[in-house]
Amino acid sequence: MIDAMLGGLSGLIAGFAALQWSNALMMIIGGTLLYLGIKKDFEPLLLVPIGFGCIIVNVPLADLMEKEGFLRTLYDMGVITELFPLLIFVGIGAMTDFRPVLESPYTFLLGAAGQLGIFLVLLIALWMGFPYNEAVTIGIIGACDGPTVIFVASKYAKELLGPCTVAAYSYMSLVPVLQPPIMRMLTTKKERETIMKTHKKTVSDTTALLFPIVITVVGGLIAPMGLPLLATIMLGNFMKESGAVARLTKASENEIANIVTLFLGLSIGATMNGPLFMKPTTLIILALGLLAICLDTVGGVLFGKILYYVTGGKVNPLIGAAGISAFPMSARVVQKEGQKYNRKNYLLMHAMGANAGGQVGSVMAAAVMLSVLKGMGVI
Amino acid sequence: MMDKWTFGLTMLVVGMGGTIVTLILFSFIMSALKKIFPYKKEE
């Protein structure tokens, strides 16, 4: 009987005995993500479930990521199948107003320049010895777009899903800290003070309605591998612009997006198992992700400067910084920065145009990248 | 299998170039749509 009791007691301390230092450290990291989400308001909708998932997956012997574990079920159901990021995209499309970019279609180009970091960091990752699929996945952090990163990582480098996703969401929330110094470094005071003309309303409802369909078809023909990304974001936007399916639009931007965000966050947290996550590679990926987002800002602002000179000083180059996909955060950063140097400066709507262009740009960059890879026979 | 520099530079040139060209095309299409379906005040 004593043996049975001792056996039973050993079962209660087995978890402590199996705890490795890397699990304990990951629990602290999970706690830090919770702190950043709750106290610092850094992307709480994602960081809270990711942080919680990270903590529970590091409890030994619970087998949450083993076959039939509940986190494994969520992961297999929505991440392996790429379903979660795509469902999130329907919600993002329903929440995004593309009219500012339609008012000034040239801002699409800022959205292209804001993807420079993706391709430069891909090159750096290759130089550092990462294999093709991993280099592509690391580069895509520069899309500054969580669902795109998850889509590409779950397709081509599942082992990098955790660090790449954490990097993407963390740096997106750090945009207000990361961008202003780069914007100031690359522009002169005179350029930052440039006042841009206020938009007149020039977009008809028909144009706004046709936009998602035309972009889906043309973009899909150019880069079919990225059609799921493009089609889902544009579906959400089409439903919003049509005004005919208010219930579906509301469900996409609220209930569906919320439920999927919870499941997605937990699934990402579940990939952060200590022994698998605690590698020097993780730190390198975090550093490269940071570099990618900084280079995106450099690309956008430099292209903004080109527009400034080409238009004879009519475009404030600061709006180039909004050519990334962190919507609408980077547009707000541009507005704040512009007003610092000229209180009469209202850059928000122009920056929103560049930001919406960045949203389409990041999806197109990923789509083009995947189709080029397919064309080269790499995937 | 191509070497990593060929791969990287191809991705940089064709990938970044492809993205820029696609978005230029989008901006032309949108400008054309705005001309075909101009904004009217009563909308």
pLDDT in tens, A169-193: 888 878 888 999 999 999 999 999 9
Which ranges of chain B would DSSP assign to H, the alpha helix? 4-10, 17-36
Dump pLDDT digits (tens) for B9-24.
Answer: 998 999 999 999 999 9
ipTM, two decimals, is 0.91
A136, A204, A218 member nearest B40 (Cβ): A204
Q: Is residue A262 part of a domain?
A: no
The domain tally of chain A equals: 1
What is A229-273 written as a DSSP string? HHHHHHHHHHHHHH-S-HHHHHHIIIIIHHHHHHHHHHHHHHT--
Are A214 and B22 within 8 A, CB to CB? no
Dump pLDDT digits (tens) for A49-80.
Answer: 999 999 999 999 998 999 889 999 999 999 88
Q: Is residue A63 part of a domain?
A: no
Residue range of the domain that includes A314: 97-241+280-375
B38 φ, ψ (degrees, to nearest 5): -65, 155
Are A372 and B5 within 8 A, CB to CB? no
Q: Is residue A189 part of a domain?
A: yes
Q: CA–CA separation, A178 vs A303, rounded Å?
A: 18
Q: Is residue A208 part of a domain?
A: yes
B16, B26, B33 member nearest A119 (Cβ): B16
If we measure between CA atoms, which residue out of A108, A93, A198, A288 comes closest to residue A85? A93
Question: Residues 17..36 of B with a Cβ closer than 8 Å to A: which?
Answer: 18-20, 22-31, 33-34
Residues contacting A239, CB < 8 A, separation 6+: A93, A94, A245, A248, A249, A252
List of chain B residues whose C-beta atoms are within 8 Å of the C-beta of residue A123: 8-9, 11-12
Are A119 and B34 within 8 A, CB to CB? no
Residue whose pair of structure tokens reads 């083993």 in the numeric block: A66
State whether residue A298 sits within 8 Å of chain B by CB: no
Are A122 and B12 within 8 A, CB to CB? yes
Q: Is residue A31 part of a domain?
A: no
Q: CA–CA separation, A190 vs A337, rounded Å?
A: 13
Q: Is residue A16 part of a domain?
A: no
Closest approach of chain A CAs to the CA of B21, in angstroms?
Answer: 9
Dump pLDDT digits (tens) for A274-310.
Answer: 888 888 999 999 999 999 999 999 999 999 999 999 9
For residue A50, CA distances in Å to A55, A85, A109, A146, A182 come to 9, 15, 34, 13, 29
Q: Is residue A156 part of a domain?
A: yes
Q: Is residue A87 part of a domain?
A: no
Residue A339 pLDDT grade (very low, low, confident, very high; cuts 50, 70, 90): very high
